[in-house]
Structure 1
């Protein structure tokens, strides 16, 4: 009886650890804090968990990205501090994946992770709605709302998707609660005025319901979505939208310039409006120029862990003007700059390793199939978000922890089936 009580208490403690960790990282928003907390918890849990081959394969691909960057770290001179910081940027997602995996295996409760994310998303969505209501009765532009409440919420993306897929997961709510939860999460998602938020929800839902797995049906659905997007952008491009306009018009302007924001090569740095609209493109352009200027070694294995992109203009970082930055919005440009085309190759292999999970169907285990679809959806989502918000290497991101939790659930599902 005492042993059973001890096991229950340990399970509860691990649940609290996961919940408090997520809340801490979300609120503190400090890379140094989240890395240190992740490191300490990983060291604590590591001796108690057996690492399996599928997890080793994922972590190895991410580790290879670091390894290929090492030679040029010492060829192109950087300060010890910049090298350490570059190394920690790469290590954080590895440690978070490992931590999420280990905590879930200690919890041993299949549905807890999904319930936790749904309830946390309701909590954060409620706060967001309160901030949005206050903004609504002011004359301030959308940028003020986005500054106060954030530019999006991964927890709310997952909470909304898990709620929609609740029957597959095995979570039930009363009819009145279902309506309230849907209205709250959907309203909050829309009020972020975030392209990434909406696209993230769509990608994960497509994956959960099997539309990212190649088939005649999925090709028709995705083709329909692509055609709809083309028509939508064609309409936007023929609509006069004012930059900085309040409300929906300002959001539609951001949607309209989205391709230029990422892919434009013609940028007028004297025109601050043009530069700001195409800032992601400008960062990436400078990273590519400085990599290609150094020749084949830098192109293949990057500029090294401590390398920083010279923007050639002042950019405010934490209120301090800087000309050099260590991390970019475009995660693909970041990977090529630090680890070259070889590093990018390993990252794409990592995404492929996640995506192909959707093809490993097990007709006797529907829960396992669902987990694999979620993992595959993460791979697909990362393919997109890496282009916009650094993907796995977002300095304040927590996506890698959730990915680790899903990988842990995959193993747990195999054990209990």
Structure 2
């Protein structure tokens, strides 16, 4: 519980890295063994780290920037190992679910009250509400468990139905008040996976078809409605939903440094475009990347902090980020890893518990496939789902032995 509170309350990379690093010696006792799957995933991530290290030798970079990248790419490995070791000691998946929900419930109450006490009724809009928090990965995961529990008893961890319902409402309200596009898409993906309909069977295909039609109709409405960026209420959030595809995939042909609105509307795509341009200068870099410590040249001083930055170490698109730092071979390894996680839902199982554990792993994989487009995936600064993944890998191994 303490780990979940700290990981959620402190979203900085440094805090997460230190927590993961310091925790491992306490959860792994002598002769403690990892499962075959956990070893394979760890080595897969280590191979990406090694490619980045070796490549950085042949490219000029500041030592401090190299060290930062090394730590960034190492954090998911530490998170996976710590999660595996900690859950192995607890060895009770229902206790894990209960802890996730209770801690998330505490954060949801705090977040909702914080908004209530700071709310100015004369100036209520999405931006002022989001100043109290832009996302919460723990609440997202807890809400997915709670919603899934109404369909699948595996996720039911409280004796009283009314408490489950109340927790769902409270966390759901807080979840909505983040107005996070990533969280809204994430909850759909996780619930589909947890309830076993994320795979492309006949049943799964019907769910995805309905979802696709709903999304299509939603965007038909958005592109036909007159929605402005600076309008009050939900208008600004709907505007962000409207520009989401172009923000990711369509870089602006020209950047007006004095027009920040135009800049941010295409920021993710612009970052990725600049990274690809840098690789094009020396096509050999496509194979093994530019190595740890390499920076992306934005071609102008962007107002990403008080002083502004022209050279940045990270971008939002996780696929281009991995390609830029470690090359196409590492990107293929990354894609294989994410595919392996998602495909767990297709594996045969001889018990209901094993199948549900596979669906949990598949849900995390599906979430990473999506989040790698917009928040760097497993290499996001405040991401800690690798911690959850490690724990579920232990339970997956236990089910395999039963």
CA gap of 1:46–1:179, structure 2 versus 1, over 3 A, is closer
CA–CA separation in structure 2 for the residues paired with 1:260 and 1:334: 19
Q: Give the match's secondary structure for 1:29.
A: coil
Moved over 4 A (4+): none
| Residue of structure 2 equivalent to 1:310 | 297
Contact 1:357/1:372 (<8 A) preserved:
yes
CA gap of 1:45–1:235, structure 2 versus 1, over 3 A, is same
Q: Give the match's secondary structure for 1:78.
A: coil
- Could you give the per-residue CA deviations for residues 30-70 of structure 1, whole angstroms, max 9, x where no partner exists? 32222122112123333442012111111122112122223
Contact 2:115/2:132 (<8 A) preserved:
no
| Residue of structure 2 equivalent to 1:12 | none
2:371 paired with 1:385:
yes
2:173 paired with 1:187:
yes
| Residue of structure 2 equivalent to 1:374 | 360
Deviates more, 1:310-319 or 1:403-412: 310-319
2:130 paired with 1:146:
yes
With structure 2 as the length reference, what TM-score do the two structures score?
A: 0.94
CA–CA separation in structure 2 for the residues paired with 1:109 and 1:353: 25
Contact 1:213/1:358 (<8 A) preserved:
yes
CA–CA separation in structure 1 for the residues paired with 2:60 and 2:28: 35
2:266 paired with 1:278:
yes
Q: Which of residues 301, 311, 322 in structure 2 aligns to 1:324?
A: 311
| Residue of structure 1 equivalent to 2:2 | 20
Contact 1:286/1:311 (<8 A) preserved:
yes
Q: Which of residues 392, 395, 398 in structure 2 aligns to 1:409?
A: 395
CA–CA separation in structure 2 for the residues paired with 1:355 and 1:309: 31
CA gap of 1:340–1:224, structure 2 versus 1, over 3 A, is same
Q: Which of residues 322, 327, 339 in structure 2 aligns to 1:335?
A: 322
Contact 1:207/1:376 (<8 A) preserved:
yes
| Residue of structure 1 equivalent to 2:280 | 292
Q: Which of residues 73, 82, 95 in structure 1 aligns to 2:78?
A: 95
Q: Give the match's secondary structure for 1:50.
A: coil
Q: Which of residues 152, 170, 183 in structure 2 aligns to 1:197?
A: 183
| Residue of structure 2 equivalent to 1:360 | 347
List runs of 5+ in structure 2 lacking aligned partners.
Answer: none
With structure 1 as the length reference, what TM-score do the two structures score?
A: 0.90
List runs of 5+ in structure 1 lacking aligned partners.
Answer: 1-18
Q: Which of residues 329, 337, 351 in structure 2 aligns to 1:350?
A: 337
More helix by share: 1
Q: Give the match's secondary structure for 2:360.
A: helix
Count of residues in correspondence between the two structures: 395
CA–CA separation in structure 1 for the residues paired with 2:148 and 2:210: 22
CA–CA separation in structure 2 for the residues paired with 1:264 and 1:348: 22
Contact 1:61/1:350 (<8 A) preserved:
yes
